Amino acid sequence: MAASSRTFLAYQHDWNLLSLDTPVTKIYGFNDLEDPNRQLFPAGNDDDHVIVTEKTIFHPQGGGQPSDVGTMTGPAGTTFTVTAVRMDATGQGQVLHLGRFRDGSSHMFTQGETVRQEVDAEKRLLHSRLHTAGHVLGAAVRHLLEKEVKDFDELKASHFPGSASCEFQGLIEGKWKEPIQKRVDEYIADKRPVQVEWWDEAMFREKGLERLIPDRSLMPGEKFRVVNIVGTEVYPCGGTHVDTTDRCGPTSVKKISRKSGNSRVSYVVN
pLDDT digit string, tens, across residues 244-269: 999 999 999 999 999 999 999 999 99
**pLDDT: which is higher, 141 or 91:** 141
Strands (E), 95-221: 95-101, 114-119, 153-158, 165-169, 194-199
User: What does the alpha-carbon distance between residue 104 and residue 71 come to, in Å, rounded to a whole number?
Assistant: 15
Q: Give every CB contact of residue 259 below 8 A, 6+ residues apart in sequence.
A: none
Does residue 168 lie in a domain region?
yes
Does residue 136 lie in a domain region?
yes
For residue 269, what are the β-bridge partners? 251
Q: Give every CB contact of residue 1 below 8 A, 6+ residues apart in sequence.
A: 26, 33, 34, 37, 88, 90, 92, 94
Query: Averaged over 80-106, what is the pLDDT?
Result: 89
Query: Averaged over 55-73, what is the pLDDT?
Result: 97
Does residue 50 lie in a domain region?
yes
Residue-level pLDDT at 106: 54
Q: Is residue 202 over pLDDT 90? A: no
Maximum pairwise Cα distance, the chain: 63
Query: Averaged over 24-45, what is the pLDDT?
Result: 95
**Do residues 183 and 160 both lie within one domain?**
yes
pTM of the model: 0.93
**pLDDT: which is higher, 212 or 261:** 261
User: What does the alpha-carbon distance between residue 139 and residue 253 come to, in Å, rounded to a whole number?
Assistant: 13
User: What does the alpha-carbon distance between residue 135 and residue 66 come to, in Å, rounded to a whole number?
Assistant: 16
Q: What is the pLDDT of residues 96-138, one digit of tens each?
A: 999 999 875 556 899 999 999 999 999 999 999 999 999 999 9
Total domain count for the chain?
Answer: 2
Which of 69, 93, 119 is a domain's end point? Answer: 119
The mean predicted confidence, pLDDT, of the chain is: 93
The burial class, CB within 10 Å (0-12 / 13-18 / 19+), for 188 is: buried
**Do residues 132 and 99 both lie within one domain?**
no
**Do residues 110 and 188 both lie within one domain?**
no
**Do residues 171 and 197 both lie within one domain?**
yes
For residue 253, what are the β-bridge partners? 267
Residue-level pLDDT at 43: 93
Enclosing domain of residue 261: 124-269
Residue-level pLDDT at 205: 84
**Do residues 168 and 257 both lie within one domain?**
yes
**Do residues 76 and 35 both lie within one domain?**
yes
What CATH number is given to the structural domain containing 254? 3.30.980.10
Query: Averaged over 223-228, what is the pLDDT?
Result: 92
Contact indicator for 249, 218 with CB cutoff of 8 Å: no
What percent of the chain is predicted at pLDDT more than 90?
83
